[in-house]
Chains A and B, each alone.
Chain A
Amino acid sequence: MSIDIPTICLTNIGPLITLSVAGLLLLLFDAFSGKAIKKAHFHQFSLVAVAIALLQTVLLWNRQTSDFSRMIYVDNFSFFFNIIFLLGTGISIILSVHYLENYKKNYGEYYALMLFAAVGMMLMAAGGNLVIIFLGVEILSIPIYILSGLFREDLKSNEAALKYLLLGAFSSAFLLFGIAMLYGGTATFYLADLAAFIKKNGMNGYTYVGMGLLIVGFGFKVSLAPFHMWTPDVYEGAPTSITAFMSVGTKAAAFAAFVRVFLEVFPSVRMEWDLLLWVAAVATMTVGNVTALAQTNIKRMLAYSSIAHAGYILVGLIAGNQLGATGILYYLLAYTLMNLGAFGVVIAVARKKDSYLNIYDYSGLAFQYPGLAAVMTVFLFSLVGMPPTAGFLGKFYIFSAAVQAGYIWLVIIAVINSLISVYYYLRITVIMYMQPAEADLGPVAVTPVVNATLIISALAVLLIGIFPGAIFQLAMNSIKIFGS
């Protein structure tokens, strides 16, 4: 038997290789190096790896092909998402260091698992084959199940890990069953072939069931209602640095796969899924925002807010046009910066062992730490969607795409939801600036690096909100692969 080895080009998956090798090396260093060198250098090493991967991604920009027998796409869409993932991973690593030292949990494996999770995210964004997308989901999820349970002594952390593992496995089964159904109906795993088959022959029973199950699987990962029940408990129980990481990473990766599959494979049968997603988007936004009103724990509040944001982003997918897809990319980048920033402040204010997580612990923050309160205000304004922040323009693009596509009612509901969200985000600003501290806040330790990261993130949120042109162009460039 002769074997034709397909030609492969390793530079196409350069960022993937860098992060995987860095993760492996970290595990080895952790096992074989002395205690003294260990602690200080793990995060620096992983940050270097993230920076190299970022550089590789930038150098690959504008290359458009597919590799490994069409298993992955090498295109700007995946590069744009790579940049989001790498930014998210890098900022999360910076935010983790001090937090983990407080808990005496500064392990090398922690950073290695984060890098592996980033590999999974990249696979999801680049997957040209459902097998790769599924593998990406698993490589992303398993490290996060483990990292949510990192604090073994803490019952809440255990609960978070177990809940996420069980429900995540359940949703993976849905995803896998959906993939099997699609294969049964079309005899292919390749997105391009699936798209061609559906365009030519229309949908059949198998592909209907498969599409529905895919929505369930992805919906769980981006926490759409009614698959959002795990989100608040997992976000609350997991270590805050991991909550930050998964709130942006998992969501962006799952949306990358969601957008690619639905805009590439199913655009010709839009009528079949847009009503379904319409209902899901309205339910997600409403449940997220209304429930967030009642939260007093800031991590739970941000969890519900992340559910609501999944709803807004879904509006862009329902619109399904160029502007909608561009809006999703822009929004996810903005969301990464603003949400990580908000979690960074939460980590700083919570201090030792997460003792200050109630929203009233923020009272008087502006008098003692005006800088911290100011950046938090920027992030919260951006999460609300107020000009001139990036959050405003993200919402603006997505909503105007939906108006263009004729979903007027959806946009009206989304705007009403944004108004509801003003209350719970700005309540924190009010508490910070207008209420006197109930007790002396005590020292809030912020290392210079974290400080710089928070300030740069806040500036970036403002900057891409005021001058969106460049990012918008990049996002525009990235979604050219989708026909319509």
Chain B
Amino acid sequence: MQIIFFLLAATALISGIMVVIQVNPVRSALFLVLNFFALAAIYLLANAQFIAAIQIIVYAGAIMVLFLFVIMLLNLRQPEEGGAHRHLGQKIFGSFLATAVIALVIYKVFRMVVPPAKPLTPDFGSTEMVAKSLFTDYLLPFEMTSILLLVAVVGAVILARSKVE
């Protein structure tokens, strides 16, 4: 279990970094798909089968296809050369700070005592349990998420509507 987890975590991290540093947007998108699959597998390890399935169907399936369509329709050009050397000082300073913070976090996290994990109920992570918590304890967040999604849709329409009155 441990080895599988670390393999998956390494895949997710490396593919995540590749998403950011790839120049070609299509490659970035494909690495993002890999990242989603690795995450889905981690969810499976954590006994969350339903979430894992949703992750693959919704994110890796539907959303990434849309991403790729948009990238291809927009026909993004390669960025101009010479961008890499701009703000060099800031980049060095920033990466130094980021490394320091990450080192501090890792140091802290490894030295601590992990509180004992609660045993899971046998049906944890099943569709039934997810549905149950959505409609009982998490009812309000569930309803509010619908407002969040509505707002995002309305906003996209406002910003993208073709006719400027």
A interface with B by C-beta (< 8 Å): 1, 3-6, 8, 13, 20, 23-24, 27, 68-69, 71-72, 104-105, 107, 109, 112-113, 116, 119, 123, 129, 131-132, 135-136, 138-139, 142-143, 145-146, 149-150, 152-153, 161, 185-187, 201, 204-206, 208-209
Q: Are B158 and A186 in contact (CB under 8 A)?
A: no
Q: Are B115 and A139 in contact (CB under 8 A)?
A: no
Beyond the given A107-B158, A146-B154, A204-B112, could you list 12 further A-B residue pairs with CB under 8 A, ordered by the A residue number? A1-B128, A13-B140, A69-B137, A71-B138, A71-B139, A131-B141, A150-B158, A153-B164, A187-B115, A204-B115, A205-B108, A206-B109
Convert B97-116 into 0s and 1s, putting 1 for each residue whose CB lies closer than 8 angstroms to a CB of A. Answer: 00000000100111111010
Cα A27 to Cα B154 with chains together (Å): 9
Known: A109-B158, A204-B113, A209-B109. A116 touches B151 (CB 8 A): yes
27 example contacts (A-B, Cβ-Cβ < 8 A) are as follows: A3-B135, A3-B136, A6-B136, A8-B139, A20-B147, A23-B147, A27-B154, A69-B136, A69-B139, A71-B139, A71-B140, A105-B165, A112-B154, A113-B154, A113-B158, A116-B150, A119-B144, A123-B144, A129-B141, A131-B141, A135-B141, A139-B144, A143-B155, A153-B164, A187-B115, A204-B113, A206-B112
Shortest distance between the CB of B52 and any CB in chain A (Å): 18
Q: Are A209 and B135 in contact (CB under 8 A)?
A: no
Shortest distance between the CB of A415 and any CB in chain B (Å): 32
8 Å CB interface, B139-165 against A: 139-141, 144-145, 147-148, 150-152, 154-155, 157-159, 164-165
Q: Are A146 and B108 in contact (CB under 8 A)?
A: no
B interface with A by C-beta (< 8 Å): 105, 108-113, 115, 117-118, 123, 128, 132, 135-141, 144-145, 147-148, 150-152, 154-155, 157-159, 164-165
Chain B binding surface SS class: helix
Q: Are B159 and A146 in contact (CB under 8 A)?
A: yes
Q: Are A132 and B132 in contact (CB under 8 A)?
A: no
Cα A208 to Cα B110 with chains together (Å): 13
Q: Are A152 and B128 in contact (CB under 8 A)?
A: no
Cα A150 to Cα B117 with chains together (Å): 48
Cα A138 to Cα B132 with chains together (Å): 24
Cα A367 to Cα B145 with chains together (Å): 52
The residue in chain B whose Cβ has the minimal distance to the Cβ of A3 is B132
Shortest distance between the CB of B149 and any CB in chain A (Å): 10
Q: Are A205 and B139 in contact (CB under 8 A)?
A: no
Q: Pick from B117, B132, B141, B152: contact of A71, CB below 8 A.
A: B141
Cα A119 to Cα B148 with chains together (Å): 10
